[in-house]
């Protein structure tokens, strides 16, 4: 997308959280087609660290190589050997990121978003998270733009399998596609740096964002494209943005209202505000 232009008016800047949630509830209750973008912050209260910011995985350990996918393609078998070694090390380390994700449960933020979908307010949710927690909370209309760590995907035909149903034979690496007539290399479904996002996911995000008459952005630093561009695509078409994040982001200036709090605290209150307004016919 091109230059989104400048924000017309700043949001209410986090002075009074209760008033901001009330205003956000009013905007969401009025909308017919709310699309949501979530990031790592929505899962923080499930015990999964974010990437950036205080205590973030990459703040602590450094960023992974930006050419990860290129490195994968250069030596798929070697990559898989390292992957299996790392998986064994993660399983043995109670403090590993992988263990945190595997043991995580949906938190009240995930539940509130699923409730907003159930109410007919949220129509689609785009998540950058690979942890599967939205689905486990009952959300149905989801695009996982960065994949799902519990799935595997063929790079040639795009077929996907739950990882639990796709045993990897260490004697025959890399694993190959199980579809008849396809021998494509199989990798984790999680999108790596430098890897193209599957076209189907991209076009769904694009279509949903164009259709949105309100965009709710939760727990993302909004610095990774193309995900961070979808709320702006909707904003350019006149949809108000509502943001939930304890910190300001590059999208804050475009937001009608920015609720500066933890998603697990704010979203249940926001869902209650929407429910109350809908019940009152407001």
Binding site for ligand OAD (CB under 6 A): 39-41, 44-45, 50-53, 56, 128, 146, 191, 219-221, 224, 245-247, 249, 262-263
172 or 188: whose CB is closer to ligand OAD? 188
How are strands ordered across the β-sheet holding 214-218? 142-144, 122-127, 34-38, 214-218, 241-244, 255-259
Q: Which residue is nearest to ligand OAD (CB)?
A: 41
Q: How far is the CB of 39 from ligand OAD (least distance, A)?
A: 3
Given 118, 134, 146, 150, the catalytic residue: 146
User: How many angstroms separate the CA atoms of 67 and 55, rounded?
Assistant: 24
Q: How far is the CB of 44 from ligand OAD (least distance, A)?
A: 4
User: How many angstroms separate the CA atoms of 139 and 118, rounded?
Assistant: 8
Q: How far is the CB of 282 from ligand OAD (least distance, A)?
A: 27
Q: How do strand 142-144 and strand 151-154 relate by DSSP bridges?
A: unpaired
Q: Measuring CA to CA, how many Å separate 115 from each of 108, 125, 131, 138? A: 10, 12, 19, 8
146 has catalytic annotation: yes
Q: How far is the CB of 10 from ligand OAD (least distance, A)?
A: 18
240 or 264: whose CB is closer to ligand OAD? 264
SS3 state of residue 61: helix
58 or 282: whose CB is closer to ligand OAD? 58
Active site residues: 146
């Amino acid at each position: 997308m091109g230059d989104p232009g400048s924000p017309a008016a700043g949001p209410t800047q986090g002075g009074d959280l209760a008033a901001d949630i009330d205003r956000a509830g009013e905007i969401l209750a009025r909308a017919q087609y709310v699309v949501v973008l979530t990031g790592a912050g929505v899962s923080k209260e499930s015990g999964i660290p974010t990437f950036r910011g205080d205590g973030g995985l990459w703040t602590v350990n450094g960023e992974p190589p930006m050419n990860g996918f290129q490195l994968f393609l250069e030596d798929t078998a070697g990559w898989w050997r390292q992957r299996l070694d790392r998986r064994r090390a993660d399983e043995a380390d109670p403090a590993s990121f992988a263990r945190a994700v595997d043991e995580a449960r949906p938190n009240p933020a995930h539940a509130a978003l699923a409730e907003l979908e159930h109410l007919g307010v949220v129509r689609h949710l785009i998540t950058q998270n690979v942890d599967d927690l939205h689905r486990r909370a009952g959300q149905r209309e989801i695009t996982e733009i960065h994949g799902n760590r519990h799935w595997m995907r063929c790079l040639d035909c795009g077929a996907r399998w739950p990882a639990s149903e796709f045993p990897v034979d260490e004697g025959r690496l890399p694993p190959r596609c199980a579809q008849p007539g396809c021998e494509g290399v199989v990798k984790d479904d999680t999108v790596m740096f430098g890897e193209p996002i599957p076209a189907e996911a991209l076009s769904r995000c694009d279509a949903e964002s164009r259709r949105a008459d309100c965009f709710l952005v939760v727990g993302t630093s909004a610095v990774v494209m193309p995900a961070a561009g979808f709320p702006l695509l909707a904003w350019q078409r006149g949809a108000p943005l509502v943001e939930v994040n304890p910190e300001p982001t590059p999208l804050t200036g475009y937001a009608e209202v920015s609720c500066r709090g933890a998603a697990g605290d704010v979203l249940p209150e926001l869902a209650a505000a929407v429910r109350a307004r809908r019940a009152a016919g407001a």
